[in-house]
A = this chain, B = another copy of it.
Amino acid sequence: MDIKAYMEGLGQSARAASRVVAAATTEQKNKALLAMAEALASSRSELMAANQIDLERGKSNGLDAALLDRLELTDARIDTMIEGLRQVAALQDPVGEITDMAYRPSGIQIGKMRVPLGVIGIIYESRPNVTVEAASLCLKSGNATILRGGSEAIESNQAVAKCIRAGLAKAGLPDTAVQVVETTDRAAVGELITMPEFVDVIVPRGGKGLIERISRDAKVTVIKHLDGICHVYIDDQADITKAVNIAVNAKTHRYGTCNTMETLLIAKSRIDDVLPELISAYEEAGVELRGCDVCCSFSPEFKAATEEDWETEYLAPILAVKAVDSMAEAIAHINRYGSHHTDAIITENYTKSRQFLTEVDSSSVMVNASTRFADGFEYGLGAEIGISTDKIHARGPVGLDGLTSQKYIVLGDGHIRR
């Protein structure tokens, strides 16, 4: 197979389809989304059968249990995919939104219209539900998509793709509006990220290694999410109840998510007030504690943290804890070791809250709230294609708006420039 020619073919078809979906009405896009949901619902046995092939091959290839779990399509997971499609259909259509129309002294009236980006390439690993999530958000925002899932999930993804195409057809949209790459050849990724004439943005979803590799080699903008080394800082003027509740929630609510706290910073003067309660809560939850010198001398529950601990996204029941002299030290630590994802301060002090919000250079900065809130649903975006740790184009949870751009529109009545 000539991978380059194959990918360019997908690119050309996607570019052509992007013009059609950009002009599609809200009704048409929603019809396609709901028809995809119906197709999934009536194809459960085909989906499960295809998934079974992937699972068996995965087992014989020695995939680990976590990967097999992510790969598996259960009835409940198919329900979630269906529900997701219905939710995206219910979201407001961002395309065509006109804002900021105002008259200028020249007499022209100027504002902005929200428009699709064009063609979006999505590269992801084993979870087949990403195929539906990504396709639905891209379609609703008027974009064409090329999806490249992990080779372990190839059969499942093709089965899902069939349902997506059925939905597009039912709404009279071209089936090239969502294309799932049919080859497992790794060269396909290399082509996808270096065709700026056909692909406008790449969204990689997966491990840090994958994303770094793609960012390095891509010839188009990458909306990237590297890692989530999130911090909670308990200030010397923190309310103790809020501090303990949030520090426990931010770590133990879920361990494998990017908005989970990985490092807890505590003002030295409050160590005695909060650590005993926190140590017992973390012990109960089974969280391993790694601490700075101050923490280690406070309690034998702490192992000594190394420099590496401050820059690690554990994604596991492990927490690094550091005592700091001041908020300034906490902010410096966060900006140096963090990943610019989500960081929170717990304080009752007005001036410090404003300063923390301003000086912490992260995509989400919080006061007296758990880092676990950093999420498209919680933020009211409806759904998210990912969380950007970049500053350009989109930052933080990326929903439908992040998959669009704004053009200027100018209304005149025969106006000429003097």
Contact = CB atoms under 8 A, between A and B. Distances in A.
A369 B412 contact: yes
B365 A408 contact: yes
A412 B393 CA distance: 27
Interface residues on A, range: 35 or more
Contacts of A241: 414
Interface string A377-418: 011100000000001110111000000011111111111110
A362 interface: yes
Contacts of A368: 411-415
A334 to B, nearest CB: 13
Contacts of A19: 335
Contact of A405 (B253, B392, B408): B392
Given A110-B379, A369-B108, A411-B368, A392 B201 contact: yes
Interface stretch (A27-35, A111-119, A302-310): A111-119
Interface of A: 19, 22-23, 96, 102, 104, 106, 108, 110, 113, 115, 117-118, 200-201, 216, 219, 221, 239, 241-242, 245-246, 248-250, 253, 335, 344, 357-359, 361-370, 372-374, 378-380, 391-393, 395-397, 405-417
Given A108-B369, A364-B410, 16 more contacts: A19-B335, A96-B358, A110-B380, A221-B221, A221-B392, A246-B416, A249-B416, A357-B409, A362-B407, A363-B407, A364-B408, A366-B411, A368-B413, A369-B414, A393-B393, A395-B408
